[in-house]
Structure 1
Amino acid sequence: MDVFLHRLPLFFDQHALLVLACAGLLLALLVTEVMQLRRGWNEATPATVTRLLNRDNALLIDLSPRADFEKGHIPGARNVAMEQFDPEHKDLAKVKDMPVIVCCRSGVTSQRAAQKLVKAGFKNVHSLAGGLAAWRQADLPVVKGKA
């Protein structure tokens, strides 16, 4: 171990670019993790969403346009178009302490909705990572028609 510690400065001198790149990547990883912790909501995999729906009786909100929702959605999802999504609505205020999952087609719109929910005081907010596309890719059930 003593030999290793004596050779370490020599390694740093000979491979300064490699050491800087490694330090930069480590810093970027650390910043990303801290930002994810501070945002207040979680990205959920399809397996996590299934667990939340089955065990925790989570509310699932699908933000897809009505036509897309009727073409296929997760069983039990409630459809609310993003334009009409209001975290302050009286029906949503009743479930502030429950787990709430938001999803859309690709997962981008649901991230904005998750942020709105956190700002409105919701504590247990999840966004389906990858959206309905990830759900279908995991070969999980999709139902057609109105909710």
Structure 2
Amino acid sequence: MNTKSSPESQIITIDVLKANDLLCNSNYRYLDVRTEEEFKKGHVDFDDVLNVPNMFNTPAGRVKNPNFLEQVLLVCTKDDHLIVGCQSGVRSVDATVNLLDAGFKDVYNMGGGFLAWVQNGLPVAVVTDGH
């Protein structure tokens, strides 16, 4: 019997309502792994929202951010409680696998991403040029 689990089996996906509850009522931080452009158009509205893109848009299409883990470690530790989200819930799965594989202990993937967040009427912030 193979007891080694694949990274995908380690992922715990929570819905946006559970994510909102954890962000409001516990010490979880929200890690938005969308591009900076997507983040500025609108993001989950909490005081301590982090934006570290997992992918970049290039003329040739999306490419993986080679410094993703290093950039995350500049703004948080492996002991931080994180909820990882993207636009629709695809990039956040990849980012969550990367974080768990790197030794982060408490990471949730937010299913449905920012689109589901908006559809549920949860708080949204927009970055304006003046901020």
The two structures have a TM-score, normalised by structure 1, of 0.67
Structure 2 residue 36 is matched with structure 1 residue 66: yes
RMSD, aligned CA = 2.4
Secondary structure in structure 1 of the residue aligned to 2:10: coil
- Read off the aligned partner of 1:97 and give its amino acid letter: D
Decide whether aligned partners of structure 1 residues 42 and 65 sit closer, same or farther in structure 2, where only a CA change above 3 A counts.
same
Q: Which residue among 79, 91, 107 is the counterpart of 2:51? A: 79
CA drift at 1:128 = 0.8
More helix by share: 1
Gaps in structure 2 of 5+ consecutive residues: 55-64
Which of these two proteins has the greater Rg computed from alpha carbons?
Answer: 1
Is residue 40–residue 123 contact of structure 1 (8 Å, CA) maintained in 2? no
Q: Percent identity?
A: 31
The two structures have a TM-score, normalised by structure 2, of 0.74
Is residue 52–residue 71 contact of structure 2 (8 Å, CA) maintained in 1? no
Gaps in structure 1 of 5+ consecutive residues: 1-34
More strand by share: 2
Alignment of 1:115-134 (within 5 A): 115-134=97-116
Higher RCO (C-alpha 8 Å, min separation 6): 2
* Number of residue pairs the alignment of both structures matches: 112
Whole-angstrom CA distance in 2 between matches of 1:41 and 1:133: 20
- Read off the aligned partner of 2:107 and give its amino acid letter: V
String of CA shifts for 1:61-90, please: whole Å, max 9, x gaps. 111111111110001321111114216854
